[in-house]
Structure 1
Amino acid sequence: MQLEDGRWVKVEERRTCDGGIVGVRIDITQLRQREAELRRLSSTDHLTGLENRRGFLAQMEDLQASAQRNRRLLAVLLIDIDRFKSINDTYGHAAGDEILREVSIFIAKELRGQDRACRYGGEEFAVLLPDTSLGGAYSTAERIREIIEEREFAWDDTVIRTTTSVGVAQIDERDARYEDGLCRADEALYEAKNSGRNRVRVSIRSTALAAAPTRTAAA
């Protein structure tokens, strides 16, 4: 049980010498704190500090169920760093890791407290945007894309520039599984890559905005 001052205790019954029973309170606050920290670490990507894929998917499942139950909007972004293998091959994996860390910071700065971001795998990030229309999700994706395109990443005596491609999808009542929205965002990301990289593409199912022009630059 948790006390008003925030401490956690458990109560055990113990018999006395005369056959009576007394309750003994044992402070387990530190144990609870260690357990909470272990849970946090198990769902955190240690390089970027964002959630890892496992933690993100668990939250996505909960958020989709809540959004469908309450008829709320939910959007998902998949963000991929363009030609990341070339960065690793040219400058080394330490440089690649530093870019991953900095990109994760830029993504997090563009999000609200209720949004969720994770390192989805390798050079790919995923973002959940509760209570966000497709247009709002597109705008967020474009801001992230533009910020990273304009950023110069300093590494030793070298400046590294990179870009991102982004796939956007709306999750709605037609999605029986939370993976469905991710699949459509992944298809949109694939289209962004095939269209020349450094651009945002929206899932075709998600209204006429899918055909909206984007501001792009040469990859």
Structure 2
Amino acid sequence: MEIDNFTDELTGLKNYKALKEYVIDKIKESIHDKKVLSIILIDVDNFKNFNTTYGYNTADRVLKAVGELLGKDKRATDEVFRQFLKGDEFLVVASETSSDDALKAAERKRKLIENATFVIDEARYKLTVSCGVTEFKAGDDYTSFTNRAHSALVEAKSQQFKNCSKLFY
């Protein structure tokens, strides 16, 4: 039952319920072991318009495919979550990863999604994402750590064309 409670039924990734607990544990581990920890917040660009144009069923199937791509593109020290129950945001917890390396990983994921073609019922869809990246700092807690990633994402999404990654120190 716990697996069901902490698994996003659409994407099969860990869900928002598991996210906070996992990040808090990783923060404690990072402090104790004196290892770096970064997070990557990924948001599908203009997904509200996609929902409106193609419908929620198609949008859900595309989100599932994005989740599968992100789940396959991770290292053994990474964990991928769907950020919210009804959202188009994903969060990657990158253990033992500096902000510079996390930014490289974010760019790799961004390009992977940009270059993918999502085929749903023979129709082809292209998407882009924006990414916010940050590294855990001394004195951070769950809220300050994730808020900094969100600020980086907001900055990335404010770019004229979106589809980029930003690091927030």
Partner AA of 1:189 in structure 2: L
Question: Residue 101 of structure 1 corresponds to which residue in structure 2?
Answer: 64
Provide the aligned C-alpha RMSD in A: 1.0
Q: Distance in 2 between matches of 1:157 and 1:72?
A: 46
* Structure 2 residue 88 is matched with structure 1 residue 123: yes
* Structure 2 residue 23 is matched with structure 1 residue 60: yes
Residues 185-200 of structure 1: pairs in structure 2 closer than 5 A? 185-196=149-160, 197-200=162-165
With a CA cutoff of 8 Å and minimum separation of 6, indicate the structure with the bigger relative contact order. 2
**In the alignment, is the contact (CA less than 8 A) between 2:50 and 2:59 conserved in 1?**
yes
Which of 146, 154, 157 is residue 119 of structure 2 equivalent to? Answer: 154
- Deviation of 1:88 (Å): 1.1
Aligned partner of residue 82 in structure 2, secondary structure? strand
Partner AA of 1:57 in structure 2: K
Q: Distance in 2 between matches of 1:102 and 1:166?
A: 18
Q: Distance in 1 between matches of 2:123 and 2:12?
A: 25
Q: Deviations over 1:137-168 (max 9, x none)?
A: 01110010001111111123421111000000
Partner AA of 1:119 in structure 2: R
**In the alignment, is the contact (CA less than 8 A) between 2:42 and 2:132 conserved in 1?**
yes
Q: Deviations over 1:61-94 (max 9, x none)?
A: 0110110122110000100001111111111111
* Structure 2 residue 143 is matched with structure 1 residue 179: yes
Question: Residue 202 of structure 1 corresponds to which residue in structure 2?
Answer: 167
User: TM-score, normalization: structure 2?
Assistant: 0.95
Aligned partner of residue 112 in structure 1, secondary structure? coil
Aligned partner of residue 95 in structure 1, secondary structure? helix
Q: 5+ residue gaps in structure 2?
A: none
Q: Distance in 2 between matches of 1:158 and 1:112?
A: 31
**In the alignment, is the contact (CA less than 8 A) between 1:56 and 1:116 conserved in 2?**
no
Residues 82-97 of structure 1: pairs in structure 2 closer than 5 A? 82-97=45-60
Q: Distance in 1 between matches of 2:68 and 2:101?
A: 20
Partner AA of 1:185 in structure 2: A
Q: Distance in 2 between matches of 1:174 and 1:76?
A: 16
**In the alignment, is the contact (CA less than 8 A) between 1:82 and 1:165 conserved in 2?**
yes
Question: Residue 76 of structure 2 corresponds to which residue in structure 1?
Answer: 113
Partner AA of 1:90 in structure 2: T
Question: Residue 169 of structure 1 corresponds to which residue in structure 2?
Answer: 134
**In the alignment, is the contact (CA less than 8 A) between 1:68 and 1:172 conserved in 2?**
no
Which of 30, 33, 41 is residue 78 of structure 1 equivalent to? Answer: 41
**In the alignment, is the contact (CA less than 8 A) between 2:62 and 2:120 conserved in 1?**
no
Identity of aligned pairs, percent? 33
Aligned partner of residue 154 in structure 1, secondary structure? strand
Q: Distance in 2 between matches of 1:80 and 1:102?
A: 14
- Deviation of 1:174 (Å): 2.7
Q: 5+ residue gaps in structure 1?
A: 1-37, 207-219
Aligned length: 166
